[in-house]
Structure 1
Amino acid sequence: MKSLLPISSLLMLLGSASAYAADLHIPMSFEYLALNGQKVESSAFNHKSKLALTPGTHKIAIRYHEMVEDDFSDSQSFVKSSPFILTLDVDGDYQYYLQAADGQVVKKPKEYAKNPQIVLTRSDKGQIHYQVSQTNIQEEGFVSRLFSGNQVTDVSSTAAQATGTAVTATPTPEAAPADKPLAAATTNTPPNATATPEQMLQYWWLQADDKTRKEFMSWAISQL
């Protein structure tokens, strides 16, 4: 006896198959930050190159980032742009491809990161309705965050807010008052067991010679 798939189950399968009608592809030099108010999880070791999109209008926060030769050492470091918001109208089962306006390879990454321009193409060469808006969301440098006591900017959360209202950024700890510098930064006394990580880093930075500081800078930049 043949088993017949119930009509309801068939409709569910068809519905799930059409739920994600399109894909947006980005190259390694770009990264997703947020989609419609939700952070997109990715990392340097797990680059997310494809984003599934349902029919309708989507706001996607994307950032350009590329590894370049460091000007102050023999190591390499990352250059990153502020996020830009791509507003895309999806009206069919298409494959969309994003790339830099200059082509597949950006010749001057540092200059490009100041004002990243992109183009979007579709697998069937059809017309695409999209807009790109630049933002001024800034991410403080790793070292300046460690030694200035400034608040950390959560770029992904801020980008999520810029693309919707579903996500609220997690509050960051209050910065230390400017007129009350951390004690370990102004003395040669080793910090005690209750010292914060910032105090420990400041203390050892002041104790290090120029060679050690440069080596630490190279390592710190590589962790970004």
Structure 2
Amino acid sequence: MSILLFLVFFPLLSLGHTLEGCEDSSCNNDGPVIHFPFRLSHQPKHCGYDLGFELHCNNKKDTILELPSSVHLVVEKIDYVSQQIHLYDPEECIATKLPKLNLSQSNFTNDDYPTDLFNCSAPFSDNNYGYYLVPCLSSPGYQVHAVTSTSRLQYFLYGPCTKIHQYPYSHSTFGENKLQLNWLIPLCGNCEFKGMDCGFKNGTKLSETHCFNRTMTHKGTICMS
């Protein structure tokens, strides 16, 4: 009889261990909801996939992701179904941080077309031709434009402009101060699409994840800085 009871209740114990301390969290009421594969730094390690998915709250209650090498960006949104994270630079000059960023050392990928940065001595009126002015890098007589490498380059290659560098990010990243990244592993988008949770079996870190039903005890918590 005792063996039968163990077999009946073991899945429930397993589910409870998976969710223990892993309630949906956020840094503020308007911030993104945080759950697996992400976790806040104060939560148990089994709540997140690995260290690269660890988030923390700063003293302004912003949600912060640290990328290599020591690039700190604010999390604006997490799309768990599409497995995309939307970031921005709180200092409003993401262009100064992207040269230090090495995604090959992170869990995230970027599928954007590359962008060329040009320094132009003459102004351009708008971004109708697939380019953005980068205000934080510009000054009178030195206007920096981010140009999609496949779009209208002749306006810059044969004009009063000098190419500075090419970066593997969208031109809108420089102009709008926002960066969108994807993650491929773990594959949890299907769980989210079905309205299920995703996590490690029995709360231990394995090489693969699984889906399990959400429960009414999966409550949200606000991180207090």
Instruction: Give the TM-score, by structure 2 length.
Output: 0.24
Greater RCO (Cα-Cα under 8 Å, separation 6 or more): 2
